[in-house]
Structure 1
Amino acid sequence: MAQRDEAELGSATRLSPEGEVAVLRSPAPRWHVVVWDDPVNLMTYVEFVFRRHFGYGADHARQLMLRVHNEGKTIVFTGSRERVEADVQAMHQFGLQATMQRAEQ
């Protein structure tokens, strides 16, 4: 199993039958960056933003852009809450409409 940073792990405590306290670690909730279609930005610009900000290759960025255009929205990234908040803010700075959504476990 790959190591995860402490920020990526949630924790809970549980009392064992012997009276010992055990700390249980579970993955922290994941979040999605959702980009929405808008009538303002050109498709080539949206593709450029995905390549520039997320570092996606041309084909992947184009597929995501087409999903935004054809379906009205798409998930472009999934990660920790802090990272997703920063990415949503970055999308806003690029002029794109974006929100964050909690991923289903």
Structure 2
Amino acid sequence: MADHQTMVAEPEVAKPEVERRNQSKAKKQPRYSVVLWDDTDHSYEYVVLMMKSLFRHPIETGFQIAKEVDNSGKAICLTTTLEHAELKRDQIHAFGKDELIARCKGSMSATIEPVHD
């Protein structure tokens, strides 16, 4: 008779419960808001067009942001990751002047702010 060796699988070592829980949770990146600041050199139409072009916001949302920035002095356009917020802020700064207002010299101002949970 042929000699048969029996293969025995090594038992899996169970991972501690805490380690398993930590692996299943995705690490959340910190969130940042893109804040648009009010000035007197840009029209509602400009803000609506910018929100539609840069953020793909519908016209109604763009109008609400324009109204909020006019009434409150600032408005949040988007809350996202740091890198995406920086990109959107830079796109606002590069959007150009408002052709509807003669005294307008350039783009609106925007900043990014961390979201505190």
TM-score band by shorter chain is 0.7 to 0.9
Distance in 2 separating the partners of 1:24 and 1:80:
18
Structure 1 stretches of at least 4 aligned residues deviating more than 6 Å after TM superposition: none
Where does 1:40-55 land on structure 2 (aligned, <5 Å)? 40-55=41-56
How far residue 24 of structure 1 moved from its aligned partner, in angstroms, is: 6.7
- TM-score, normalized by length of structure 2? 0.68
- Match for residue 114 of structure 2? 102
How far residue 47 of structure 1 moved from its aligned partner, in angstroms, is: 1.1
- TM-score, normalized by length of structure 1? 0.75
- Size of the aligned set, in residue pairs, is 89
Aligned-residue Cα RMSD (Å) equals 2.3
CA displacement 1:21-76 (0-9 Å, x = unmatched): x7974211000000000111112111110011111111111011100011100111
For residues 63 and 24 of structure 1, do their structure 2 counterparts lie closer, same or farther at Cα, with a shift above 3 Å needed?
closer
- Match for residue 60 of structure 2? 59
Give the partner amino acid of 1:36: W
Higher strand share: 1
Distance in 1 separating the partners of 2:49 and 2:59:
9
Which consecutive residues of structure 2, in runs of 5 or more, have no partner in the other structure?
1-16, 96-106
Identical columns (%): 27
**Which has the larger Rg?**
2
For residues 69 and 23 of structure 1, do their structure 2 counterparts lie closer, same or farther at Cα, with a shift above 3 Å needed?
same
Distance in 1 separating the partners of 2:63 and 2:26:
38
Distance in 2 separating the partners of 1:23 and 1:62:
41
Distance in 2 separating the partners of 1:69 and 1:37:
6
